[in-house]
Amino acid sequence: MTDRSTIGVGRARACANIALAKYWGKSDETLNLPAVPSLSITLDALVTETTVTLDDALDARAGDVVLFDQKPRDGEDKTRAVELLDRVRAIAGDERRARVETVNHFPTASGLASSASGFAALATAAARAYGVDASLEQLSAWARRSSASAARSLYGGFVELAAGVVGDDSLAARVVAPAEHWDVCIVIALASLKRKKTSSRDGMIETAKTSPYYPAWVACAPGYFREVRDGVLARDLEKVGVAMEASTFAMHASALAARPAVRYYAAATATLLECVESLRSDGVAAYSTMDAGPHVKVLCMRSDAERVREALVATGAAVDVRVARPGPGVQ
């Protein structure tokens, strides 16, 4: 039990992350454990702020209130937020319901990893509101249970999440190198502001169930992960970039071979990918990645970021292009 007089409001700010070695597929759906190891950069430009306020006026029947950008949110997003709150309530021994207010400083549900920053911020704010003294590792494991990529957003810089062992609910992410380790940028070209049709969760579950290429993906992913990890530690952009592109396209190939196909790219995606290839033939070290959405994210050195940004803008295929740098963990 916790001391009720000192608790009630928790606030947290977390940054989204972009995976250089991708997570796609689960080894344990109940505990939400990834089937493959992944490695990401936490990004300073994609921020979610969440406040959790315990509210005595909300009884168990009224339930929690979840607001995204000041609008009430129901459905799957709310269910997953309430499940996280339920787990924190069980640990705190406190039944009170909460009001959750989340503000995303970037477009949500379009493949820009809003669930990563969202659940990292929610786990942290909820622990604070309910007076639970949790370590970063515990918060990372709670966030992972809601969204595996969220486990990585508790930490700043370059972060890994191992593949999960079935039944192990303690799996948390850990830091590979701090944000200052390497002066790289991710230039994010938004291909569309539409909400995506297939969530990552549904997309990866369908891929695992029906794609003949899923076993090949699971077999190859640890190799891409090791190459990315070694490359990050050695600050070797070419090594990381080549392995990141291989991880990206293998993940998307496994999804495309699902029945029906799980397809995230749009027409603009191909134009943006071609732009990055042509930058490379002009001698700029720039490499593409894509997540569960049509956007293209480009890894390059900070000194090349402006040139990459201008080239992506000049294609006319992006609705917005922004530059992000390795950012901090949850605050």
Query: Contact positions toward ligand 2P0, by CB under 6 A?
Result: 19, 22-24, 32, 38, 115, 147-149, 200-201, 291-292
Measured from the CB atom, is 96 or 252 closer to ligand 2P0? 252
Measured from the CB atom, is 28 or 274 closer to ligand 2P0? 28
Smallest distance from the beta carbon of 217 to ligand 2P0, in angstroms?
12
Measured from the CB atom, is 290 or 311 closer to ligand 2P0? 290
- Angstrom distances, CA of residue 188 to CA of 6, 17, 142, 150, 314: 41, 12, 28, 19, 14
Measured from the CB atom, is 175 or 311 closer to ligand 2P0? 175
Measured from the CB atom, is 131 or 241 closer to ligand 2P0? 241
Q: What is the DSSP letter of 179?
A: G
Structure tokens at 100: 């959750």
Whether 60 and 85 have beta carbons less than 8 Å apart is answered as no
Smallest distance from the beta carbon of 175 to ligand 2P0, in angstroms?
16
Rounded Cα gap, residues 191 and 47, in angstroms? 19
Smallest distance from the beta carbon of 292 to ligand 2P0, in angstroms?
4
Strands (E), 32-172: 33-34, 38-54, 65-68, 71-72, 98-104, 158-161
Smallest distance from the beta carbon of 193 to ligand 2P0, in angstroms?
18
Structure tokens at 261: 């196909």
Smallest distance from the beta carbon of 116 to ligand 2P0, in angstroms?
6
Strands (E), 1-153: 9-21, 26-28, 33-34, 38-54, 65-68, 71-72, 98-104
Smallest distance from the beta carbon of 59 to ligand 2P0, in angstroms?
29
Structure tokens at 151: 């486990």
Measured from the CB atom, is 113 or 187 closer to ligand 2P0? 113
Whether 49 and 102 have beta carbons less than 8 Å apart is answered as yes
Question: How many other C-beta atoms lie within 10 A of the C-beta of residue 257?
Answer: 17
